[in-house]
Structure 1
Amino acid sequence: MDFLINLDVDDLDKAVAFYSAAFGLEPARRLGQDGCEMLGGPAPIWLLQKPAGSPASGTMGETRRYGRHWTPVHLDFVTEDIDDSVRRAQAAGAMLEQPVSTHAWGRLALMADPFGHGYCFLQFLGRGYDEIAG
Protein backbone atom coordinates (compact mmCIF):
# COMPACT_ATOMS: atom_id res chain seq x y z
CA MET A 1 0.00 0.00 0.00
CA ASP A 2 1.23 3.48 -0.85
CA PHE A 3 0.32 6.72 0.85
CA LEU A 4 -0.27 10.15 -0.56
CA ILE A 5 -1.24 13.29 1.27
CA ASN A 6 -3.99 15.69 0.19
CA LEU A 7 -4.12 19.25 1.51
CA ASP A 8 -7.00 21.59 0.73
CA VAL A 9 -5.89 25.16 0.00
CA ASP A 10 -7.74 28.24 -1.15
CA ASP A 11 -5.00 29.49 -3.52
CA LEU A 12 -3.19 26.79 -5.51
CA ASP A 13 -0.43 28.99 -6.94
CA LYS A 14 0.36 30.41 -3.49
CA ALA A 15 0.40 26.87 -2.03
CA VAL A 16 2.75 25.57 -4.74
CA ALA A 17 5.10 28.49 -4.07
CA PHE A 18 4.96 27.93 -0.29
CA TYR A 19 5.53 24.15 -0.34
CA SER A 20 8.35 24.60 -2.86
CA ALA A 21 10.12 27.29 -0.82
CA ALA A 22 9.45 25.87 2.66
CA PHE A 23 10.15 22.18 1.99
CA GLY A 24 12.01 22.01 -1.31
CA LEU A 25 9.17 20.11 -2.97
CA GLU A 26 8.77 20.29 -6.74
CA PRO A 27 5.51 20.51 -8.68
CA ALA A 28 5.25 17.31 -10.75
CA ARG A 29 1.88 17.38 -12.49
CA ARG A 30 -1.33 19.34 -12.44
CA LEU A 31 -4.93 18.21 -12.22
CA GLY A 32 -6.42 20.94 -14.36
CA GLN A 33 -6.53 24.28 -12.55
CA ASP A 34 -7.39 22.86 -9.13
CA GLY A 35 -4.70 20.35 -8.16
CA CYS A 36 -0.94 19.93 -8.15
CA GLU A 37 1.20 16.96 -7.12
CA MET A 38 4.29 17.97 -5.15
CA LEU A 39 7.23 15.55 -5.01
CA GLY A 40 10.49 15.45 -3.10
CA GLY A 41 9.53 13.75 0.16
CA PRO A 42 8.72 10.13 1.04
CA ALA A 43 5.08 10.52 -0.09
CA PRO A 44 3.47 12.75 -2.70
CA ILE A 45 1.61 15.79 -1.42
CA TRP A 46 -1.36 16.84 -3.52
CA LEU A 47 -2.45 20.45 -3.13
CA LEU A 48 -6.16 20.71 -3.94
CA GLN A 49 -7.76 24.10 -4.44
CA LYS A 50 -11.13 24.27 -2.69
CA PRO A 51 -12.88 27.58 -2.04
CA ALA A 52 -13.33 28.84 1.49
CA GLY A 53 -16.89 28.27 2.61
CA SER A 54 -17.41 25.21 0.42
CA PRO A 55 -18.80 22.09 2.13
CA ALA A 56 -16.07 20.02 3.77
CA SER A 57 -18.17 16.86 3.49
CA GLY A 58 -21.61 15.79 2.37
CA THR A 59 -22.29 14.22 5.78
CA MET A 60 -21.60 17.17 8.09
CA GLY A 61 -22.37 20.85 8.17
CA GLU A 62 -18.81 22.09 8.41
CA THR A 63 -17.37 24.27 5.66
CA ARG A 64 -13.76 24.83 4.64
CA ARG A 65 -11.93 27.67 6.35
CA TYR A 66 -8.32 28.62 5.93
CA GLY A 67 -7.64 30.63 9.06
CA ARG A 68 -5.62 28.71 11.64
CA HIS A 69 -7.68 25.68 12.63
CA TRP A 70 -7.14 22.51 14.64
CA THR A 71 -7.44 19.02 13.26
CA PRO A 72 -6.48 15.70 14.88
CA VAL A 73 -4.37 14.83 11.81
CA HIS A 74 -1.25 16.78 10.96
CA LEU A 75 2.06 16.32 9.16
CA ASP A 76 5.45 15.91 10.84
CA PHE A 77 8.53 16.75 8.81
CA VAL A 78 11.74 15.15 10.11
CA THR A 79 14.76 17.37 9.60
CA GLU A 80 18.46 17.25 10.40
CA ASP A 81 18.55 20.97 11.28
CA ILE A 82 15.35 22.25 12.91
CA ASP A 83 16.57 25.84 13.21
CA ASP A 84 17.31 26.06 9.48
CA SER A 85 13.98 24.39 8.62
CA VAL A 86 12.06 26.86 10.80
CA ARG A 87 13.87 29.84 9.25
CA ARG A 88 13.21 28.58 5.72
CA ALA A 89 9.52 27.91 6.42
CA GLN A 90 9.04 31.31 8.11
CA ALA A 91 10.66 33.05 5.14
CA ALA A 92 8.12 31.25 2.91
CA GLY A 93 5.18 32.42 5.06
CA ALA A 94 4.82 29.83 7.85
CA MET A 95 4.27 30.75 11.49
CA LEU A 96 6.22 29.31 14.43
CA GLU A 97 3.51 28.91 17.06
CA GLN A 98 5.79 28.60 20.09
CA PRO A 99 9.55 28.45 20.65
CA VAL A 100 11.34 25.26 19.60
CA SER A 101 11.35 22.83 22.53
CA THR A 102 13.81 20.07 23.42
CA HIS A 103 12.75 16.67 24.72
CA ALA A 104 14.53 13.41 25.57
CA TRP A 105 13.90 12.17 22.01
CA GLY A 106 14.73 15.40 20.14
CA ARG A 107 13.60 18.91 19.24
CA LEU A 108 10.10 20.00 18.21
CA ALA A 109 8.77 23.06 16.37
CA LEU A 110 5.00 23.60 16.21
CA MET A 111 4.21 25.40 12.95
CA ALA A 112 1.30 26.58 10.80
CA ASP A 113 1.27 27.01 7.04
CA PRO A 114 -0.40 30.03 5.36
CA PHE A 115 -3.56 27.95 4.80
CA GLY A 116 -4.30 27.28 8.47
CA HIS A 117 -2.86 23.75 8.60
CA GLY A 118 -0.72 22.88 11.61
CA TYR A 119 2.42 20.79 11.19
CA CYS A 120 5.59 20.03 13.12
CA PHE A 121 9.29 19.88 12.45
CA LEU A 122 11.06 17.10 14.35
CA GLN A 123 14.81 16.78 14.80
CA PHE A 124 15.64 13.47 16.42
CA LEU A 125 18.52 13.40 18.92
CA GLY A 126 20.32 10.35 20.25
CA ARG A 127 18.13 7.34 19.51
CA GLY A 128 15.06 9.45 18.66
CA TYR A 129 11.79 8.02 19.95
CA ASP A 130 13.70 4.95 21.19
CA GLU A 131 14.98 7.21 24.00
CA ILE A 132 11.48 7.04 25.54
CA ALA A 133 10.08 3.80 24.10
CA GLY A 134 9.29 1.05 26.59
Structure 2
Amino acid sequence: MSLSLLANIDVDDLERAEAFYVAALGLRVGRRFGGDVVELLGATSPIYLLRKAAGSAAGEAIAQTRDYRRHWTGVHLDFVVPDLTLALRRAQEAGAVLEGEPRTAAWGRIATLADPFGHGFCLLQFLGRGYDEIAH
Protein backbone atom coordinates (compact mmCIF):
# COMPACT_ATOMS: atom_id res chain seq x y z
CA MET A 1 0.00 0.00 0.00
CA SER A 2 1.19 3.47 -0.82
CA LEU A 3 -0.10 6.53 0.99
CA SER A 4 -0.41 10.01 -0.47
CA LEU A 5 0.86 12.87 1.63
CA LEU A 6 -0.69 16.34 1.74
CA ALA A 7 0.85 19.13 3.80
CA ASN A 8 -1.42 21.75 5.39
CA ILE A 9 -0.14 25.04 6.77
CA ASP A 10 -2.46 27.27 8.80
CA VAL A 11 -1.96 31.00 8.20
CA ASP A 12 -3.87 34.10 9.21
CA ASP A 13 -3.17 36.00 5.98
CA LEU A 14 -3.70 33.79 2.92
CA GLU A 15 -2.50 36.32 0.35
CA ARG A 16 0.69 37.05 2.28
CA ALA A 17 1.35 33.33 2.77
CA GLU A 18 0.84 32.61 -0.92
CA ALA A 19 3.26 35.38 -1.86
CA PHE A 20 5.82 34.12 0.66
CA TYR A 21 5.81 30.45 -0.36
CA VAL A 22 5.84 31.25 -4.07
CA ALA A 23 8.75 33.69 -3.70
CA ALA A 24 10.69 31.79 -1.02
CA LEU A 25 10.50 28.28 -2.49
CA GLY A 26 9.48 28.72 -6.11
CA LEU A 27 6.16 26.93 -5.59
CA ARG A 28 3.25 27.73 -7.89
CA VAL A 29 -0.45 28.10 -7.25
CA GLY A 30 -2.56 25.13 -8.28
CA ARG A 31 -6.21 25.39 -7.30
CA ARG A 32 -8.13 27.73 -5.04
CA PHE A 33 -10.91 26.45 -2.84
CA GLY A 34 -13.18 29.34 -2.02
CA GLY A 35 -11.42 32.21 -0.33
CA ASP A 36 -9.80 30.20 2.44
CA VAL A 37 -7.56 27.56 0.82
CA VAL A 38 -4.79 27.74 -1.78
CA GLU A 39 -3.04 24.68 -3.20
CA LEU A 40 0.68 25.08 -3.88
CA LEU A 41 2.46 22.78 -6.31
CA GLY A 42 6.10 22.22 -7.15
CA ALA A 43 7.12 20.04 -4.20
CA THR A 44 6.80 16.25 -4.18
CA SER A 45 3.53 16.64 -2.27
CA PRO A 46 0.97 19.42 -2.61
CA ILE A 47 0.93 22.02 0.13
CA TYR A 48 -2.35 23.61 1.19
CA LEU A 49 -2.42 27.03 2.80
CA LEU A 50 -5.45 27.24 5.09
CA ARG A 51 -6.76 30.59 6.27
CA LYS A 52 -7.36 30.25 10.02
CA ALA A 53 -7.78 33.32 12.21
CA ALA A 54 -5.30 34.00 14.97
CA GLY A 55 -6.93 33.15 18.28
CA SER A 56 -9.30 30.61 16.74
CA ALA A 57 -9.60 27.19 18.35
CA ALA A 58 -6.94 24.74 17.20
CA GLY A 59 -9.48 21.91 17.45
CA GLU A 60 -12.61 20.80 19.27
CA ALA A 61 -10.72 18.71 21.84
CA ILE A 62 -7.69 21.02 22.12
CA ALA A 63 -7.52 23.88 24.60
CA GLN A 64 -4.95 25.78 22.50
CA THR A 65 -5.74 28.57 20.09
CA ARG A 66 -3.87 29.49 16.95
CA ASP A 67 -0.94 31.81 17.51
CA TYR A 68 1.22 32.94 14.63
CA ARG A 69 4.16 34.14 16.67
CA ARG A 70 7.20 31.84 16.42
CA HIS A 71 6.32 28.51 17.97
CA TRP A 72 7.98 25.13 18.14
CA THR A 73 6.53 21.83 17.06
CA GLY A 74 8.19 18.50 16.50
CA VAL A 75 6.65 18.30 13.03
CA HIS A 76 8.01 20.59 10.34
CA LEU A 77 8.72 20.60 6.62
CA ASP A 78 12.16 20.08 5.08
CA PHE A 79 12.64 21.31 1.53
CA VAL A 80 15.47 19.68 -0.43
CA VAL A 81 17.22 22.23 -2.63
CA PRO A 82 20.06 21.89 -5.15
CA ASP A 83 21.99 24.92 -3.80
CA LEU A 84 21.55 25.89 -0.15
CA THR A 85 23.23 29.28 -0.50
CA LEU A 86 20.89 30.41 -3.30
CA ALA A 87 17.80 28.90 -1.67
CA LEU A 88 18.61 30.54 1.65
CA ARG A 89 19.04 33.93 0.03
CA ARG A 90 15.73 33.55 -1.82
CA ALA A 91 13.87 32.49 1.34
CA GLN A 92 15.28 35.35 3.41
CA GLU A 93 14.48 37.90 0.71
CA ALA A 94 10.88 36.63 0.80
CA GLY A 95 10.69 37.11 4.58
CA ALA A 96 12.00 33.91 6.17
CA VAL A 97 14.05 34.27 9.35
CA LEU A 98 17.28 32.29 9.62
CA GLU A 99 17.49 30.69 13.07
CA GLY A 100 21.17 29.81 13.18
CA GLU A 101 24.08 29.47 10.87
CA PRO A 102 23.80 26.76 8.20
CA ARG A 103 25.49 23.53 9.24
CA THR A 104 27.32 20.88 7.28
CA ALA A 105 27.07 17.17 8.06
CA ALA A 106 28.33 14.04 6.33
CA TRP A 107 25.05 13.86 4.37
CA GLY A 108 24.81 17.53 3.35
CA ARG A 109 24.01 21.06 4.48
CA ILE A 110 21.03 22.34 6.48
CA ALA A 111 19.60 25.72 7.41
CA THR A 112 16.76 26.16 9.91
CA LEU A 113 14.30 28.98 9.35
CA ALA A 114 10.88 30.30 10.31
CA ASP A 115 8.22 31.54 7.92
CA PRO A 116 6.34 34.82 8.59
CA PHE A 117 3.62 32.80 10.40
CA GLY A 118 5.86 31.31 13.07
CA HIS A 119 6.25 27.89 11.46
CA GLY A 120 9.72 26.37 11.41
CA PHE A 121 11.11 24.72 8.28
CA CYS A 122 14.47 23.58 6.98
CA LEU A 123 16.31 23.86 3.70
CA LEU A 124 18.51 20.83 2.94
CA GLN A 125 21.17 20.37 0.30
CA PHE A 126 22.28 16.77 0.00
CA LEU A 127 25.95 16.13 -0.71
CA GLY A 128 27.54 12.93 -1.95
CA ARG A 129 25.04 10.12 -1.39
CA GLY A 130 22.82 12.22 0.90
CA TYR A 131 21.43 10.27 3.86
CA ASP A 132 23.05 7.11 2.46
CA GLU A 133 26.35 8.60 3.70
CA ILE A 134 25.22 7.79 7.27
CA ALA A 135 22.84 4.85 6.73
CA HIS A 136 23.78 1.46 8.13
Interval of TM-score (by shorter of Structure 1 and Structure 2): over 0.9
| Structure 2 equivalent of residue 51 of structure 1 | 53
Q: Distance in 2 between matches of 1:130 and 1:124?
A: 10
Rounded Cα–Cα distance in structure 2 between residues aligned with 1:115 and 1:37: 17
Q: Which runs of 5+ in 2 are unaligned?
A: none
Aligned residue in 2 for 1:116: 118
Q: Report the TM-score when normalising by structure 1.
A: 0.97
CA distance in structure 1 between the partners assigned to 2:59 and 2:65 by the alignment: 8
Taking the aligned partners of 2:70 and 2:127, their CA distance within structure 1 comes to 29
How many residues are treated as equivalent by the alignment? 134
Q: CA deviation at 1:46?
A: 0.4
Identity %: 60
After superposing on structure 2, the runs of 4+ consecutive aligned residues of structure 1 that deviate more than 4 Å are none
Q: How do 1:1-134 and structure 2 match up within 5 A?
A: 1-134=3-136
| Amino acid corresponding to residue 112 of structure 1 in structure 2 | A
- Whichever structure has more strand as a proportion of its residues is 2
User: What's the C-alpha RMSD, in Å, of the aligned pairs?
Assistant: 0.7
* Deviation sequence 1:25-81 (CA, Å, 0-9, x none): 111111111110011111110000000000001111000000110011100000110
